[in-house]
Chain A
Amino acid sequence: MVEAISILILPFAACVCILALLTYLGMHVLEREIIFIDIALAQICAVGATFAHIFFGAEEKSLAAYACAFVLTVIAAVFFSQIDRRITQISHEAVIGVSYAIAAAAALFILDMAAGGDIHVEHMLTGSIILVRWSDLLLVTGVFVPVGLFHWIFHDRFRCLSQDYKACRQKDRKAVFWDFLFYVTMGLVITVSVRIAGILVIFSFLIIPATFSALFSHSWQNRIWIAWGMGLVAIIGGLAFAYVLDFSCGPSVVSILGILLVAVALFSRGKISLKTDSQK
């Protein structure tokens, strides 16, 4: 028991950090309906880091690798926000879906040039939470705390943008700039966390708790608490599951997240709602 705790304490801390911020951002993602943009961004970010690693010989968690990943992520975010206005013949979704597939293929292509590609592919998808060190945790908190504070201070602006972009843009000339800031912070968070937890785990932490909480409540405040609670249960359950049955941590936590969501959605069929909903 003591041994289990000493092994799992750092992965647990890392998961909790990721949960705390990503759940909140995930609610914005659902509100904006940019679910697949997100998985595409995470994939592009992974391509950036892999690229720096293979071609420039940058160490995996070095500043150069992070910088390369971050720059590529922001470029992609700008691309996605522009393409909506320029291309009318095919739907936005088609561009996003194809971009995701291209980025994933690019990652496989680059990894294939290095030895041990199979393991890298799994690492890219689900990370290696079990190997988290104190220095990683320090970096994560170092980025997440300022970003979290920033979002907390300006939460009204960001929420207004997410809920109704057009109306907000008419009211406020700086809306475009704030929208850009949203994507930059999103890019930062993704860049830092993808290296630890992998694309799939990040994606799941963004989407699943936020979706789960939407089953119960419409108010943002209630939702964030519900989502955090659900995420915490899934992290503890997932890590214990991984430890006892010898699975990887990332996929285990994601499957518990998924199971909780599916079970509650089936059980409730969308009928649950808290009384505070009427107050909004």
Chain B
Amino acid sequence: MLHTLNFLSPQIVLLAVVTSVHTYLGLHVIRRGIVFSDLALDQLAAFGVIVGIGIGIEAQTTVSYLVSFVAVLLGSILLAYVKPKNKNIPHEAVIGIIYGLALVASIMVAEKLSGGTAYVKQTLAGTMLWVSWPLVLVTVVVYTLLLLFHFRFRDRFIAITEGKKSIQNENGWDLLFFISLGIITVLIVPIAGVLLAYAFLMIPAAIATLFTKDWNQALKIGWGIGFLASMVGLFSSYFFNLSYGPTLVLTLGLFFLIALACRALTSSE
């Protein structure tokens, strides 16, 4: 038992930190309605990792993170500026095409690498089981700084997301929000994979939003359920020898479907 806990402790720390920051930013993402854009950005971060491997940069090194960051940055610029005026082309189509092309590009680059197709699966399913303490420490430090920053300026970020009152220098704060989103995307996608990173951001926040509009309560619900689900996922993947990333997404997903069912049954049409 001690041995197991020892082995799993980096994951437990990582999951706790990731859940706390992702749930909070996820609440913003859901309220802003940029749900699909985030999926596209996650895939672009993964594309950055694969391109990095293609030009000889090992995954999970500083340079690899930088390449990812550039890819995410380019993606955000595209998402922000390509808004077709043509009424026959919904914005969702642009996001969908960016996502699809990022995934196709990842596959094509990976095809030309030795051991190629394995990378595609890795960037989808993640390699979080093999995180090392140094990586966990870096993530914890960056996430704590982000969390402090967002806690200090929470009023402004929340005001912008809710769009109720206007505040000074709104575009600047908006940019800071997207940079935070970019930082967590780049940090987490290379280890957790696209799907798990997306699930962490969306699912606890979505469950919380189903039941309350209040930010404080939503955070508590999101953190509680998010952490509980990750622990269930972590231990069942360990004891039943199931693949780590997909198991975590499925446990989070199970909680989401239960919450959805509860809500659908209790609310009238």
Contact = CB atoms under 8 A, between A and B. Distances in A.
Interface string A119-138: 10110011000000000000
Interface in B117-133: 117-118, 120-121, 124-125
Contacts of B249: 101-102, 105
B175 interface: no
Interface stretch (A152-160, A179-187, A244-252): A244-252
A59 interface: no
B85 A125 contact: no
B24 to A, nearest CB: 16
Contacts of B90: 30, 33, 35
B59 interface: no
Interface residues of B, number: 57
A93 B33 contact: yes
A98 interface: yes
Interface in B223-243: 242-243
A104 B40 CA distance: 15
Q: Which of B95, B107, B245, B250 has the most CB of A within 10 A?
A: B107
Given A94-B202, A108-B245, A86 B264 contact: yes
B88 A251 contact: no
Majority SS of interface residues in chain A? helix
Majority SS of interface residues in chain B? helix
Interface string A86-121: 111111011111101110111011001000011101
A221 B267 CA distance: 43
A234 to B, nearest CB: 12
Given A203-B96, A251-B108, A252-B108, A83 B260 contact: yes
B125 A94 contact: no
A151 interface: no
A39 interface: yes
A255 B267 CA distance: 45
B246 interface: yes
Given A93-B36, A105-B250, A36 B121 contact: no
Interface string B202-224: 11001001110000000000000
Given A36-B36, A247-B111, A251-B107, A102 B250 contact: yes
Given A36-B36, A108-B125, A258-B104, 16 more contacts: A30-B89, A30-B90, A91-B33, A91-B35, A100-B39, A105-B245, A106-B246, A108-B124, A109-B242, A122-B121, A211-B97, A218-B88, A248-B111, A251-B107, A251-B111, A270-B84
20 contacts: A30-B93, A83-B264, A86-B269, A87-B264, A89-B211, A90-B209, A91-B33, A97-B198, A101-B195, A102-B199, A104-B124, A105-B199, A200-B107, A203-B96, A204-B104, A207-B100, A248-B111, A251-B111, A254-B104, A258-B101
Interface of B: 30, 33, 35-36, 38-39, 84-86, 88-90, 92-93, 95-97, 100-101, 103-105, 107-108, 111-112, 117-118, 120-121, 124-125, 195-196, 198-199, 202-203, 206, 209-211, 242-243, 245-247, 249-250, 253, 256-257, 260, 263-264, 267, 269
